[in-house]
Amino acid sequence: EANPLPQDDSSLENMVRRFQDSMSLPKRHKFWETQPVGQFKDVGDTSLPEGPIEPPTPLSEVKQEPYNLPSQYEWTTCDMDSEETCIEVYNLLKNNYVEDDENMFRFNYSKEFLSWALRPPGYYKSWHIGVRAKTSKKLVAFITGIPARIRVRDEVVKMAEINFLCVHKKLRSKRLAPVMIKEVTRRVHLENIWQAAYTAGVVLPTPISTCQYWHRSLNPKKLIDVGFSRLGPRMTMSRTIKLYKLPDQPVTPGFRKMELRDVPAVTRLLRQYLSQFVVSPDFDENDVEHWLLPTEDVVDSYLVESPKTHDITDFCSFYTLPSSILGNQNYSILKAAYSYYNVSTKTPLLQLMNDALIVAKKKDFDVFNALDVMHNESFLKELKFGPGDGQLHYYLYNYRTRNALRASELGLVLL
């Protein structure tokens, strides 16, 4: 890569940035400052109303042609029904998607997971957007939206959930991401949808909430061997293994896997439960069937059916998201379960989640992860989860909330 001029470091802009960094002032965001999102300068301004930041424009005024890409690249709509395209997307993400701060692990979403995550009820193929190199046709960037109804307090808003933004490592810092975000925005607007929800590990203008991941070791020896966790002070390996030991079977009577016939009862239970949070999805039976009915190696759901009344009283779920382990001699994959939606009305949440840990362990997961959203704080410490480093920020596009929300006010989990 010939780049003869040391332009990047000496530019005035970068001097300003380094000065701002050193003063820990909020960073400038050349792109995000132009977008209808909460701006840092407005934080704490209680005179601004809650709700859309700008009104919808007439559909006839939405740009009809895609945004311009640098001339070597072209847009492609990724057909996730095609095994071949699915494999291309899978490989792009496997090699270029999110890593931890120390670059030891990288998300490795499976093809089956991507096909599930991107094809919920009412999905738009046009929102699965790729960028290819014109000459080689190689897929070099990706961004997706899926439709969702998201409730914010008493308003149910049609939104896009934006995910899987990825630019090939060799094409970073060339301002491709803003073009991709503008293009997905345009295609969402064409469907007469004007709001979006997304999460990111980076701070952008402006999080509606900031959460933390917690990790529960299921296979502590492997986690320590691969550098995911460390032996605690005054701990031996055998004491650590004993500390994280779990029973062989769930302990709650009536605890079983969710089935198709449970969809109506689970929908009622979940809708009732999620209504207490400030932000949550507005799930109907079709959504519950898609998002929560178990799919092998993608999503697992269990419920408690009362042995006496046969009522469905409690529910828990987790999704499967392995990470590649970068540069370890002995292991290449970390098998992680991520807590999804959990509802307790009769079984204490602590006991329900302990049963979830037990089934996850039986399914050979190495670690069980959970955010501190919803009521999760009530079980994290007691069930021996430890806080992770790094945070997850939640964002809304073109929708302002009065204040930032506490993580426990969020009833939404994005994949």
Q: Which of 112, 81, 108 is nearest to 298 (CA)?
A: 112
Distance CA 340, CA 160 (A): 19
Number of Cβ atoms within 10 Å of the Cβ of 246: 18
Size of the site for ligand MYA (CB under 6 A): 34
Q: Give 117 or 303: the residue with its C-beta nearer to ligand MYA.
A: 117
Q: Give 137 or 174: the residue with its C-beta nearer to ligand MYA.
A: 174
324 lies in the site for ligand MYA, by CB under 6 A: no
With CB under 6 A as the contact rule, the residue among 89, 150, 176, 312 that binds ligand MYA is 176
Q: Closest approach of Cβ 351 to ligand MYA, in Å?
A: 34
Q: Give 38 or 254: the residue with its C-beta nearer to ligand MYA.
A: 38
End-to-end CA distance of the chain: 35
Q: Closest approach of Cβ 74 to ligand MYA, in Å?
A: 17
With CB under 6 A as the contact rule, the residue among 146, 160, 223, 343 that binds ligand MYA is 160
Distance CA 382, CA 409 (A): 21
With CB under 6 A as the contact rule, the residue among 129, 152, 162, 312 that binds ligand MYA is 162
Name the burial class of residue 147, with classes exposed (0-12), middle (13-18) and buried (19+) by CB atoms within 10 angstroms of its CB: middle
415 part of the active site: yes
Give one DSSP letter per residue of 271-310, joined into a string: HHHHTTSSEEE---HHHHHHHHS-BTTTEEEEEEE-TTT-
Distance CA 80, CA 118 (A): 8
Answer whether 147's CB lies under 8 Å from 193's CB: yes
Q: Closest approach of Cβ 51 to ligand MYA, in Å?
A: 14
32 lies in the site for ligand MYA, by CB under 6 A: yes
With CB under 6 A as the contact rule, the residue among 90, 109, 198, 385 that binds ligand MYA is 198
Distance CA 229, CA 220 (A): 8
177 lies in the site for ligand MYA, by CB under 6 A: yes
Q: Dig out the tokens for 114 from the structure.
A: 């991507």
With CB under 6 A as the contact rule, the residue among 69, 98, 278, 326 that binds ligand MYA is 98
Q: Closest approach of Cβ 380 to ligand MYA, in Å?
A: 24
196 lies in the site for ligand MYA, by CB under 6 A: yes
The DSSP H or E segment spanning 149 is strand 139-152
165 lies in the site for ligand MYA, by CB under 6 A: yes
Number of Cβ atoms within 10 Å of the Cβ of 16: 11
With CB under 6 A as the contact rule, the residue among 164, 315, 340, 341 that binds ligand MYA is 164
Cis peptide before 206 (omega within 30 of 0): yes
- What's the DSSP call for residue 405? B
With CB under 6 A as the contact rule, the residue among 48, 200, 326, 350 that binds ligand MYA is 200
Q: How far, CA to CA in Å, does 256 sit from each of 9, 149, 295, 297?
A: 59, 29, 15, 17
Q: Closest approach of Cβ 121 to ligand MYA, in Å?
A: 19
256 lies in the site for ligand MYA, by CB under 6 A: no
With CB under 6 A as the contact rule, the residue among 10, 22, 24, 173 that binds ligand MYA is 173
Which distant-in-sequence residues (6+ apart) come within 8 Å of 102 by Cβ? none
With CB under 6 A as the contact rule, the residue among 80, 92, 118, 163 that binds ligand MYA is 163
Q: Which of 121, 162, 126, 164 is nearest to 142 (CA)?
A: 164
Distance CA 322, CA 108 (A): 5
Q: Give 8 or 382: the residue with its C-beta nearer to ligand MYA.
A: 8
172 lies in the site for ligand MYA, by CB under 6 A: yes
Active site residues: 415
Interface contacts to ligand MYA, rule CB under 6 A: 29-32, 96-98, 160, 162-167, 172-178, 181, 184-185, 188, 194-196, 198, 200, 202, 204, 397-398
